Structure 1
Amino acid sequence: MSTSIPFDPSLTLGNIVPEDHLTVLDKISTLQTPIDNALDLLNSSIMLKRKLKMTMQELVNLQVDTTEVSKSMDDVSKSIGTAASEYAKVCVKNMPEIAKEKANIPQVSHNIESPIDYNRSQIKQLPLSSDSLTMDAQYFSFDETGQSSDSAMSSLKSFVSASTSFLGNKRSAEATASTMSQVNHQREQHGIQGTLVITANCTHKMADIFAPFFIDVDKGIRAWNELFPDDMIKTNDPASIAKIAEEQQTQKEKFFNLLSGATFGSSFVGMVHVLKESKTQSSQAMYSAAASLQAQMEVGSWFSSFEGGFGVSSSFSNSAKRLLSSQQISSHVSLVTMGIIPTIEANDVQLAVKQFSQFDPAEMMGKLADLQNATASEQASVTSAAQNARTGGQMMSIEAAKIKSVMSSVSEHQDGSNKMLDINSLMTAFTDFVNKAIAGNVGVPINFYLKPITASQLAQMWVAKYFPGKYVTSAGDDSTPEEPKENTGGGDSGN
């Protein structure tokens, strides 16, 4: 992906430029240029392949021969592979070197006070550059949901059947069927995986320039003496001034640079990888108490049958209802912006279970068919109608109890939520980045206007300040030098 704009916080407008810091930025830019060029070539090849594919499809619709276009697409495919290989090679080679050079850029530094006279100087914004945007985005999303439902009751069925065999085949079958209806096991797995990578580099047309540009000569001399202790400017030493005059406009003449102007750029490099896995397990199990079956089955079944309910007392069975919902979320977010600080918003992640019981229409129709078979008789009577009503009431009681127990267990899980950074957060940040880039007045310096300051300039400015109009001097800033006053000859002209 595209690299971020190299930036040194010590290179601020108006400051004295540390030469070693500027050298580091030049090295980083030199190392990043092959990476950006290789990426541009790769993206251009991919775009060409897609354009040719669309063109070939259009030619097919027009019934035009596409043999040559197809051959060209094969060549483009090979060039894409070559470009991707070169891009990978140059990244592997230059990225460690870039990291090594960036380690030489301190986040906190100190510098000598700038000699600029901020009270008189002004910063103007001029459209000296241009607006541009280079963006590269890659997005991958994968969503999978799997559900399973089973009733694993072979052992439970045989246990209940054997325990109730003394009641007769009919009653034993009814008890076994009632137990089976209580046992259900469901599993659900839901996995979401998404990755978004966005890189963008911008340049901005507005440049900041000191105009007018004024220097405080006393501060300038103090800064010079700090930077060059072996070649100090001594205003009280004529020999020092004479030496400065001798080295003027020669190769021996030293200087330091002031950052008098700059054009700006901004960059956005962001990546989000989110992996969310949720698992839901819902089950109901009945464990029969065989020791109490023989003593209580007859009486308990008789009472519950005439009440229109289901089952017997609590000593007959223990209904254990379980609901387990687990959710695992991993999120990796990386964002580096230069020149613009975008808005970053966190989004809510709901903690809830999607499905807990089977409410399938086909299953409900099957239950109705079972009810019809259970209540069917060859000859209707008052007794059979009452029995049918009790059987229907038992089924409705079973379903109502199951729905109530399941939903009551779920309500607590739907209240929870956490905040996290996800793909939507990165898109919000990028949208805000573009809006602020369009608005302007942002960015980090990418092109520097340097104003060299020599010892002779400072010496002449000092003379012009303290001996105005006495000597011929040149200004080192935007001030107008004063010409020396001419001798009017007011002496003894007649002698």
Structure 2
Amino acid sequence: MPTSIPYSPSLVLGSVVQPAAMATLLEMAALQGPVDAAQDTLNSFISLKRGLEMTASELVNMNIDPKSMLDKMPDVKAQLEKAAVNYATTRVQQELQMQPLRAKVQLVNAGVESPIDYQRSAPKQMPLAADTLKMDAQYFSFDENEQTAQNTISNIQRFITLAASDVGSDVAFETAQSAVKQVNRQRQMHKVAGTLVLTASCTHRQATVLAPLVLDVDKAVRVWNQLFPDAKDKIKPDANTMAQIARQEGTTAEKSFNIISGATYGSSFVGMVHILRKENTQTSQQRESDVEELQVMADGKNFYSSASGSLGMEETDAEDEKALLSRQEISSHVTVITSGVILGIAATDIQMAVKTFATEEGKTTMDALAALANAGNQDVQSMQSLAANARSGQEFTELQANTVKSVLSKLGEIQGMKVKVLDVNSLMTAFDNYVTAARAGGIGVPINYYLKPITRTQLAQMWMTKYYPDRFLEIEGDDSKVAPPVAAQ
């Protein structure tokens, strides 16, 4: 997997190089090298294995025996396994060493003023590098839909027992058993899991250089004295001292500092998204209140219900007896790390919805009514038994109707709700924006620095050339005579 490009905010075009910051970046890049090499080796063997398998399939289609080629597959698999183990081992080792180095890279830094004369210097874009793209993507998707139906009579049996308790507890229990053979309970689980890991790194052909690069020698002297505060290293702005320093050019004691005069650029994109969406819809006929509370509520309606041949529960009462448990759980973990570009990331609307419930196959309400009818046929066919059967059938029918009405009336309240989340589509949108920006150019972080050394004798010579042009041979340490001044933007 291409790693994120190490970058220090303290190293910008025209700035004085901080040796510690540059050393940290170079060390980080050295540690990332083996990881990228191990990843490239692993990808090459994966590509080799896939390619050989596809070639074998093509040979079979052309009636050519691929046996000799397939004999080499065990060697390829062994090398692939070895490369995978080496990549995992290398990455773990290098990551452990990278952590303390990352801690050294500060977002906020303070440094000395650049000695560049920005009024006369100007950055220039030049095609000194090359455009390249390295991408690696891994995607996993899992979609599961599970439906289960469970039969239970305990809840509805207790409900009807309460409704008919005025005729005696024993009779009420037997009536509930014979009137209700089943109650449908359905649970539906829909789970969608998707994981996408997408990495890419680019190099860009456009380099930026300061051309012309013009130094302000007075600023440069002040910068030198800040960087080298010892008395023996300081530069005193007088003619005698400057003339003495100018004669020391080329000695072993000559010190210097560097400024960044140009850079080539690259960019990187590292993104990972894992989204898990669970939709859990459960319908059941169950009691949610204590028996004592429902007994008080049911007693007041038992007489009227029995007399009219109906099960006297209103919609508000049915809500206390029946429940629709519909839950949607969305968990999303998104990580995007970019170097050299800031991307737009779009959220995706997730429709909030629930699944409707259905009766269990083979055990419909009509089956229950048939059971009631069969039970009634076993009795002596008299006017009283026919009336009892009709009343029981009406009670069960109204019970089922109230169940469906009270449950479905709550579904519409959930439909139409939306929630914004970041998912796989969001990551792909960000990657499309990254590729578009990379093709357009003008982005990136420095991956190669052009350093211009500034020595003590060089500053002394430039100072003498500026203030005493007739005493020494004119020496230029910048581009002040190469190009005409550039107007400030």
TM-score by length of 2: 0.83
For residue 457 of structure 1, report the CA deviation from its aligned partner.
1.8
CA distance in 2, matches of 1:258, 1:296: 92
CA distance in 2, matches of 1:227, 1:138: 49
411 and 160 in structure 1: CA distance in 2 versus 1, 3 angstrom threshold: closer
Moved more, 281-290 or 343-352: 281-290
Q: 3-state DSSP class of the match of 1:413?
A: coil
* Aligned equivalent of 1:33: 33
159 and 388 in structure 1: CA distance in 2 versus 1, 3 angstrom threshold: closer
**CA offsets per residue over residues 114-152 of structure 1, 9 Å max, x none?**
111111111110111111110111111222221112231
**CA offsets per residue over residues 270-301 of structure 1, 9 Å max, x none?**
11122333322211247898999999979744
CA distance in 1, matches of 2:437, 2:140: 27
65 and 222 in structure 1: CA distance in 2 versus 1, 3 angstrom threshold: same
366 and 57 in structure 1: CA distance in 2 versus 1, 3 angstrom threshold: farther
For residue 175 of structure 1, report the CA deviation from its aligned partner.
6.4
- RCO (CA 8 Å, sep 6+): is it higher in 1 or 2? 2
Identical-pair percentage: 45
* Aligned equivalent of 1:63: 63
* Aligned equivalent of 1:77: 77
- State whether structure 2 residue 466 is matched by structure 1 residue 465: yes
323 and 467 in structure 1: CA distance in 2 versus 1, 3 angstrom threshold: same
For residue 437 of structure 1, report the CA deviation from its aligned partner.
1.0
96 and 296 in structure 1: CA distance in 2 versus 1, 3 angstrom threshold: closer
CA distance in 2, matches of 1:164, 1:463: 115
Contact 1:164 1:175 in 2 (8 A): no
2:8 aligned partner, one-letter code: D
CA distance in 1, matches of 2:203, 2:248: 41
290 and 434 in structure 1: CA distance in 2 versus 1, 3 angstrom threshold: closer
CA distance in 2, matches of 1:251, 1:212: 30
* Aligned equivalent of 1:438: 439
* Aligned equivalent of 1:235: 237
301 and 172 in structure 1: CA distance in 2 versus 1, 3 angstrom threshold: farther
Larger Rg: 1
> Mapping of 1:247-326 within 5 angstroms?
247-285=248-286, 300-301=305-306, 303-304=308-309, 310-312=310-312, 320-326=321-327
* Aligned equivalent of 2:138: 138
* Aligned equivalent of 1:491: none
Q: 3-state DSSP class of the match of 2:97?
A: helix
267 and 165 in structure 1: CA distance in 2 versus 1, 3 angstrom threshold: same
30 and 312 in structure 1: CA distance in 2 versus 1, 3 angstrom threshold: closer
For residue 31 of structure 1, report the CA deviation from its aligned partner.
0.7
* Aligned equivalent of 1:333: 334
TM-score by length of 1: 0.82
1:455 aligned partner, one-letter code: R
CA distance in 2, matches of 1:49, 1:188: 41
* Aligned equivalent of 2:46: 46
2:409 aligned partner, one-letter code: S
Contact 1:464 1:473 in 2 (8 A): yes
Aligned residues: 466
Contact 2:276 2:331 in 1 (8 A): yes
**CA offsets per residue over residues 323-362 of structure 1, 9 Å max, x none?**
2223333322222110011112222334432233439799
For residue 193 of structure 1, report the CA deviation from its aligned partner.
2.1
Contact 1:160 1:176 in 2 (8 A): no
CA distance in 2, matches of 1:156, 1:358: 15
368 and 146 in structure 1: CA distance in 2 versus 1, 3 angstrom threshold: same
For residue 101 of structure 1, report the CA deviation from its aligned partner.
1.4
For residue 111 of structure 1, report the CA deviation from its aligned partner.
1.1
Runs (5+) with no aligned partner, structure 2:
378-386, 483-489
473 and 390 in structure 1: CA distance in 2 versus 1, 3 angstrom threshold: same
CA distance in 1, matches of 2:477, 2:303: 114
Contact 2:256 2:455 in 1 (8 A): yes
Runs (5+) with no aligned partner, structure 1:
305-309, 377-385, 482-495
Q: 3-state DSSP class of the match of 1:121?
A: coil
264 and 153 in structure 1: CA distance in 2 versus 1, 3 angstrom threshold: same
2:40 aligned partner, one-letter code: D
1:221 aligned partner, one-letter code: V
1:186 aligned partner, one-letter code: Q
* Aligned equivalent of 2:113: 113
**CA offsets per residue over residues 18-74 of structure 1, 9 Å max, x none?**
122111111111111000000000001001100000000011111212122112222
CA distance in 1, matches of 2:437, 2:178: 69
* Aligned equivalent of 1:383: none
Moved more, 18-27 or 418-427: 418-427
For residue 403 of structure 1, report the CA deviation from its aligned partner.
2.9
Contact 2:184 2:359 in 1 (8 A): no
CA distance in 2, matches of 1:128, 1:468: 37
412 and 472 in structure 1: CA distance in 2 versus 1, 3 angstrom threshold: same
